[in-house]
Amino acid sequence: MKTAIEEVYASLRQEILNGELAPQSRLRIEELRQRYGVGSSTVREALSRLLVENLVTTEGQRGFHVAPVSIKDFREIVEMRTLLEARAVRESIQHGDDDWESRFVAAHHRLSKIETEMPGREKATVDEWEIRNREFHNAMISACTNLWLLNFREILYNHSVRYLRISLTERTIPRDVRAEHDAIFNAVINRDQDLAEKLTIDHIRKSVAVMEARKLGET
């Protein structure tokens, strides 16, 4: 059973990642205490956990705020995520067995199915797409045995979710994400480490152009 701290933390974290709590919006202790029916210390502990994940910021006596978003921040997230995910893909291809391959095939099938249905319905399907997109990328790297690498990559992936939602529901330049996923899938299944690594890097980096077109935050 989750503790009160864990429940408040999980709820706020999901709202931040989903964009329900706007970047830089104030997180008032008293309002959150009343909303969740918990003590101030519980709220502070939950916010402190989010602070560690860089999803919340604080400055002096000005209280807690949702972390801002910006092109600069997204570029840095992408830079680090490409390094880690590309390495994880290579290691998974090297170590992956039949069970790993089966998980990856299943995840690709689920993602491909929803991406076929998405055109014109992005906003209605974004929640389910995000779940399946995460499953696809996680299944692809699940044979990587470096737990430190996987942990840091997960943090970066979570931070990119807010940005990925913007690029999906407010698309301003053409991008065939399904074709990108299919190309990555084929390279991984064929155990082509170099191609899989290159396609993964290109796939993640393409989101930067989408964000630049959106002129998100400061440059």
Q: From first to last of the 219 residues of the chain, give the pLDDT tens digit.
A: 579 999 999 999 989 988 889 889 999 999 999 999 999 999 999 999 999 989 999 977 678 999 998 999 999 999 999 999 999 999 999 999 999 999 999 999 999 999 998 877 777 788 898 899 999 999 999 999 999 999 999 999 999 988 877 666 565 556 788 999 999 999 999 999 999 999 999 999 998 888 887 766 554
CA dihedral 183, 184, 190, 195 (to 10 degrees): 100
Q: Say whether both 62 and 77 belong to one domain.
A: no
Please give the order of strands across the beta sheet that includes 26-27.
26-27, 64-66, 56-58
**Domain range spanning residue 42?**
4-66
End position of a domain, from candidates 18, 43, 66 = 66
Q: Say whether both 108 and 45 belong to one domain.
A: no
The pLDDT of residue 171 is: 58
The pLDDT of residue 47 is: 95
In a domain, 143, yes or no: yes
**Secondary structure (H, E, C), 107-153:** HHHHHHHHHHHCCCCHHHHHHHHHHHHHHHHHHHCCCCCCHHHHHHH
In a domain, 124, yes or no: yes
Q: Say whether both 41 and 101 belong to one domain.
A: no
The pLDDT of residue 49 is: 93
End position of a domain, from candidates 66, 87, 108 = 66
Q: Say whether both 200 and 95 belong to one domain.
A: yes
Give the other-Cβ count within 10 Å of 213's Cβ.
13
In a domain, 219, yes or no: no
Q: Say whether both 188 and 138 belong to one domain.
A: yes
The pTM (predicted TM-score) of the whole model is 0.84
The pLDDT of residue 173 is: 55
In a domain, 174, yes or no: yes
Q: Say whether both 110 and 204 belong to one domain.
A: yes
**DSSP assignment of 49-63, as one string?**
HHHHTTSEEE-TTS-
**Based on the number of CB atoms within 10 Å of its own CB, is 143 exposed (0-12), middle (13-18) or buried (19 or more)?**
buried
End position of a domain, from candidates 66, 86, 111 = 66
Q: What total of structural domains would you count in the chain? A: 2
Q: Say whether both 183 and 87 belong to one domain.
A: yes
Residue 66 in 3-state DSSP?
Answer: strand
